Structure 1
């Protein structure tokens, strides 16, 4: 982890300044401390992936503003109602609450009833009491074009596989996870068509995912972000099918997939959300081929700075390559991709950035077999 959890600060004296709906007067006192909470899924802020990257954005802010504090709150079930209740239970105690995951979409009513508190919502847009997507002046909600990063992972897998069989392993079929899946599949198909790659995507029917609309999206879904044992089972089953590269977007459950890969021969994984190269260490070798990136930490830190200086503004934002919020690890010290593969990914990703290529996503009305630019 970029910063040891031991720097976690206990609650310190902080003055909550109240003004109009969704705005603060921190701009009047640049030294004002923020009391911050981060509410996460059961895998917690040390999951080495999604939650941890959001937490690191807060830690970066605190490094520059040491009077501010952060308290991690782990919602133990992953249930959407429980997630919203976890936020309601603490809302009176904090200036800013960072909510990590699709399961926190229902915080809209809490935000409306607590205009003096600012919220940063990651991977979802807030909904009102009727379940309708709504924008609030005190909620900056960010979703990402995960399909763009997944697209890079798919090209990497298709070009580097030795067996010709690749797969994507996910946690729960939330939109962000399905975006990764469809993006990966799009990348594989693009490499097969445009770079003469020899690769097929392996899916285990017994682990097919069901998205938030109830649609079967296929793939390989563990069903949770915090079950390493099942992650290992799924990983081993795919390896037994001949898969030698797996893109893993499964939070802490993905650690089990990593273990399966480490116990096999010639199997690699692609990390997700953050650079997971260190997690790939396996004796004197490393199983991490590269990592698909979703730049959450810098965007969380930016919003905390906006709260502090009084420029915070509610928005439902969609972040992607055009704001350098998606991508992959190409540093030769942190990946094991060939120069030729990196060149081809960069060539294709430039077209993603320009809009010439638009990979399939959960709800963009395209499929991995039929997307813009294929």
Structure 2
């Protein structure tokens, strides 16, 4: 476990450095896949493409493409450890066999040399940008890398939690304090503060000092961090500890560890959970009831399908892009029957979504000058 955390923290540091500067575009494309029946590999770790969450949402984008292009083929490849070096090796092992490789997660940032050495293969990265061995961001003609504004999804969740809590105590639970998770945390805390100021709520975001997070710059960011993305037992411990302090709405951004938080909520009374990345309403079933209030969304499947279609149509262009509410790439579940928000809360969320989309509200991120207590639009 210590080795895994060390390796991933090093990669997180590399991603932070990557965010601070870009490299020159390399690996000019040498082929044209227009009209070709694509051979696609989707590489995930360690929970596979049927995890009901992050990986599966990406896989659904591939499946949508194949539904519309039935001659295309996809092969799921699961790397079991989740370690960045193993993830990169898993890509290297198969790169010669596929036209397109879709890679799920931050651990694939190190595929830069593979992309440069294989310009005939196209890569779609989700939740990371390619970086060199020194952590400097790189762009390639054959790599489209998408990240998402988690601070926005966290913000919507914080507003929803503040509006719906009955105890006036809410919390966010995360896995490891990588930038993506800290973005969710800061966005959530900012959303609570926004609701308190503009909507008259009196919610408090509860943190457990013993589970405070330390980000990739060794800064204590507070919050509630399990320390792992696959530790359901500790997830349940953290969830129960927060519930025991009176928290009745929990925003959970903790991967597989979040299952333990869900269990704690199901075993308690009158506790609701906000899901993360995808619509988790089905995961919230608890007998005849459901604990899911809503879910923060990264619209990954649509964007993956879009890039695969671009490849097939000969329109693919390498880029590193941060996707936001401006392109409806972040959001929250508002569909009837998939959430339990009040009409008043839905109306207020719709109002602030437009403000975020227009850039009038900019929730803080891990490395921004803004904070949950002071940010544009508060």
For the criterion TM > 0.5, the same-fold answer is yes
Confirm or deny: 8 A CA contact 2:28 2:140 kept in the other structure: no
* Distance in 2 (alpha carbons) for counterparts of 1:227 and 1:124: 23
Say whether 1:218 aligns with 2:222: yes
Offset of residue 23 of structure 1:
5.4
Give the alignment partner of residue 92 of structure 1, picking from 93, 96, 114: 96
3-state SS in 2 of match to 1:289:
strand
Q: Deviations over 1:198-233 (max 9, x none)?
A: 110111122222222222222111222222222112
Larger mean CA deviation between 115-124 and 200-209 belongs to 200-209
Q: Deviations over 1:277-326 (max 9, x none)?
A: 11111111110000111100000111111111111110011110110101
Match of 1:65 in 2: 69
Q: Deviations over 1:147-201 (max 9, x none)?
A: 1111110000001011111111112222221111111111001001111111101
Confirm or deny: 8 A CA contact 1:22 1:313 kept in the other structure: no
Match of 2:300 in 1: 296
Match of 1:352 in 2: 356
Gapped regions of structure 1 (runs ≥ 5): 1-19
User: How big is the alpha-carbon RMSD for the aligned residues of Structure 1 and Structure 2?
Assistant: 1.3
* Distance in 2 (alpha carbons) for counterparts of 1:254 and 1:23: 43
Gapped regions of structure 2 (runs ≥ 5): 1-26
Aligned CA distance change for structure 1 residues 363 and 202 (closer, same or farther; 3 Å): same
Larger mean CA deviation between 288-297 and 44-53 belongs to 44-53
Match of 1:137 in 2: 141
For 1:161-172, what aligned pairs fall within 5 Å after superposition?
161-172=165-176
Moved over 6 A (4+): none
Match of 1:234 in 2: 238
Q: Deviations over 1:247-296 (max 9, x none)?
A: 01112221111111111000000011111111111111110000111100
Match of 2:33 in 1: 26
* Distance in 1 (alpha carbons) for counterparts of 2:112 and 2:316: 17
3-state SS in 1 of match to 2:368:
coil
3-state SS in 1 of match to 2:261:
helix
Match of 1:275 in 2: 279
Confirm or deny: 8 A CA contact 1:158 1:198 kept in the other structure: yes
Match of 2:182 in 1: 178
When the two structures are superposed, what TM-score results if normalisation uses the length of structure 1? 0.91
Confirm or deny: 8 A CA contact 1:24 1:307 kept in the other structure: no
Aligned length: 352
Give the alignment partner of residue 195 of structure 2, picking from 191, 194, 198: 191
